Amino acid sequence: MSEAGGPLSGLKVLEFTHMVMGPAAGLVLADLGAEVIKVEPIGGDKTRRLRGSGAGYFPMYNRNKKSLALDLKSAEGKAIALALVDEADVFIENFRPGALDALGFGYGDLSARNPRLIYCSEKGFLDGPYAHRTALDEVAQMMGGLAYMTGPPGRPLRAGASVIDVTGGMFGAIGVLAALQERHTTGRGRQITASLFETTVFLVGQHIAQYAVTGAPAAPMPARVSAWAVYDVFEVQDDERVFVGVVSDGQWTAFCKAFNLDDWGADASLASNNDRVARRDILLPRLRTLFAGYTKDALMQKLEKIGLPFAPIQKPEDLLDDPHLLAGGGLLDMQLPEGPRVALPALPVSIDGQRPGLTIDPPRIGAHSEEILAHLGHSREAIADLVRRGLVQTPQSVTANPQTAE
């Protein structure tokens, strides 16, 4: 049934997921060529109908997947899902602990049916005293120290994207790929679990290590003592801002020469980065005055010419016109279900110089139900009967009964 190319072509993935973490794990595998079937409840994944900050979840993390809308609580629906389990390589879920066990889709039940199955659970916590708790990206960021490090002192602040959900999904996908490699030798699957809390702890590991090495707790990022003297955001003309970094002694020499800072370049007491850090209170005011005389484009062109780290301060929507992304296949043009065409970020890897592309738009509810059931041997009449009885949905049946999608 797989129509996608890529290194994971031929791999069959069954996905019982919602929100971000589970779908992100499936997205990695789908973009790399696996056939991913997203099993949705009748009415569709509720993530489809989120608004506000959740409005982008479904379109971003569910491309390149097929949608099967199924009543798993019915005998017929469960039988259909189990038939897919029997031929699947990977199963991904991110429901609360015990929820799928109650439906007969826990690891023990499914691995008994299909010993080669790799079962990936995306959870709030790994095993331990917190395992029963309900977790969200924000909960994990608060508990795991990331919110403390992001906000100014006394004002913990979550990161501006679902970084823990997405990274936790990535770690789940990494575990799946490791288990697939092992299966070549053993012939058996594994149970993989990734979690929000432990993902956050891993990400702040550099700060834990800093404490171990120095004996001093890491300060929140807005109050940190930078490792480099010039490593900051500077205001330029037209109320624009540019980040500028000078992170080596060689870069310092080139920087002073390019900006005619000959007195600094000749000052032996500024030749070492650590000495410059100690004199940031002298260096930064002069640089702020200097950079304020440049336009954003003029300053960036100069910094690029001399090879220094720099960045404009962009908003997410600005990236739709980013020339680098447009030239390199970094944005994928797709049609949203019952929505507009959009350009969304591609998987951030290239393979032999090619970025993973789009094979399936984010699907409508049950967009592939008929195709999948036909593959399992159901006749057209049998499929129509399942749809008529409300056990399976197709886009046409959703359109005819829009209340089922509420």
DSSP string, 155-215: -----SS-HHHHHHHHHHHHHHHHHHHHHHHH----EEEEEHHHHHHHHTHHHHHHHHHHS
Within the chain, what is the greatest distance between any pair of CA atoms?
A: 86
Q: Which helix (H) or strand (E) element contains residue 35?
A: strand 35-40
What is the tens place of the pLDDT at every residue in 317-354?
999 999 999 999 999 999 999 889 999 999 999 999 99
Strand order in the sheet with 310-312: 230-235, 241-246, 310-312
**Pairing mode, strands 12-16 and 230-235:** unpaired
pLDDT score of 306 more than 80? yes
Q: Domains, the chain, ranges and CATH? A: 12-203+329-405 (3.40.50.10540), 226-315 (3.30.1540.10)
Share of the chain above pLDDT 90, in %: 95
| pLDDT tens per residue across span 56-92 | 999 999 999 999 999 999 999 999 999 999 999 999 9
Closest CA to 145 of 57, 214, 227, 209: 209
Query: Does residue 3 register a pLDDT over 70?
Result: no
Count the neighbouring beta carbons within 10 Å of the beta carbon of residue 28.
Answer: 23
Comparison of pLDDT for 398 and 170, the residue scoring more: 170
Q: Are 394 and 364 in contact (CB under 8 A)?
A: no
- What's the rounded mean pLDDT across residues 363-385? 98
Residue the block writes with tokens 């973009």: 31
Neighbours of 238 (CB within 10 A): 7
Is the pLDDT at 35 greater than 80? The verdict is yes
Q: What is the mean pLDDT of residues 241-269?
A: 97
Instruction: Check residue 400 and give its pLDDT.
Output: 79
Note the pLDDT of residue 1: 39
The answer for residues whose C-beta is within 8 angstroms of residue 285's C-beta and 6 or more apart is none
pLDDT at 404: 65
| Tokens representing residue 55 in the block | 């409005």
Interatomic CA distance for residues 226 and 223, integer angstroms: 9
Output helix, strand, coil percentages for the chain, rounded to the nearest 5.
Answer: 45, 15, 40
Phi and psi at residue 366, in whole multiples of 5°?
A: 70, 25
**pLDDT tens digits, one per residue of 89-147:** 999 999 999 999 999 999 999 999 999 999 999 999 999 999 999 999 999 999 999 99
Among candidate residues 123, 101, 114, the one with its CA nearest the CA of residue 14: 114
How remote is the C-alpha of 288 from its chain's centroid? 35
- Span 155-207, pLDDT tens digits: 999 999 999 999 999 999 999 999 999 999 999 999 999 999 999 999 999 99
pTM, rounded to two decimals:
0.94
Please tell me the distance from the alpha carbon of residue 95 to that of residue 197, in angstroms, as a whole number.
16
Average pLDDT of the residues in 372-388: 98
Q: List beta partners, residue 90.
A: 13, 118
Q: Say what the pLDDT of residue 225 is.
A: 82
pLDDT (0 to 100) of residue 406 = 52
Contact 43, 64 (CB under 8 A): no
Count CA atoms within 13 Å of residue 283 on its CB side: 24
Q: Across all residues in the chain, what is the average pLDDT? A: 96
